[in-house]
Structure 1
Amino acid sequence: MDHLIHTAEHQQVAIGKDEREFFVQLGGRVAELRKRQGMTQAQLAETLEVSQQTVNAYESGQRRVPVSMLPTLAHTFGVNVEELIGSPSPRTARKRGPTPTLQRHMERISELPKQRQRAVVDVIEAMLQQHAR
């Protein structure tokens, strides 16, 4: 039996059972990854430039996550798109790199003027030296 699901444009379209299950599972992974990051639905909504209700609908599988949004979600959570959609790549066994929160801070720091970037690096280096003692 086909189910109705809302698209990002708020249209209802019939989808098959397998496709519905995919979006329910994807929504569950989005919710799990969001919670792992300590993010609220409202914070994720702000990142994605959608409403909190839309994030809730994605997470519950009531609304399809647009394909164009997958790279942004993956980047936000520090995973690759394959992991996000439930198809882990061989690369996933390796260390993923900085945590997404740290990665977001680094991106914000890179947008600062060079003098301010240097000041941030100086503080980080001082803290690391102090920790090494």
Structure 2
Amino acid sequence: MARRTTRPPQPIVTDGSPCPCGLPAAYGACCGRFHAGASAAPTAELLMRSRYCAFVVRDEAYLLRTWHPDYRPSGVDFEPAMRWTGLEIRDTGEGSVFHTTGTVTFVARYTQGGHPGQLHERSHFERHDGAWVYVNGTFME
């Protein structure tokens, strides 16, 4: 008999759910509008928050669409046992509506296989064809 493996269910986030990015708004009015393509993130920080949410809801299309084309991978591998549990923005540099580049330093918390962990990164963003896109990140200690 073949052993059947099951993947943990994807988190259920609806338009009315609190936004996983941590801002005090519902997902549909916050990051969900960017995922749906209703508008583009106006700042590097909001793009960072919406990309974090895209990892939470496993929105590969949004992640690829907001990745700089010179650095974009062919796909995103979501770790089935990983659940993102919180985002803390530590610092931002430039990245406003008046800039062409920006950085966002953050800590993203997760559990994997029941064990807590965190990703501490300084992400680099640029405007490409008028929209903010993720370029790359530097892991922090």
**Is this a same-fold pair by TM over 0.5?**
no
Between Structure 1 and Structure 2, which shows a larger proportion of strand residues?
Answer: 2
Larger helix share, 1 or 2: 1
| TM-score normalized with structure 2 length | 0.33
TM-score computed with the length of structure 1 as normaliser: 0.34
Q: Which has the larger radius of gyration?
A: 1
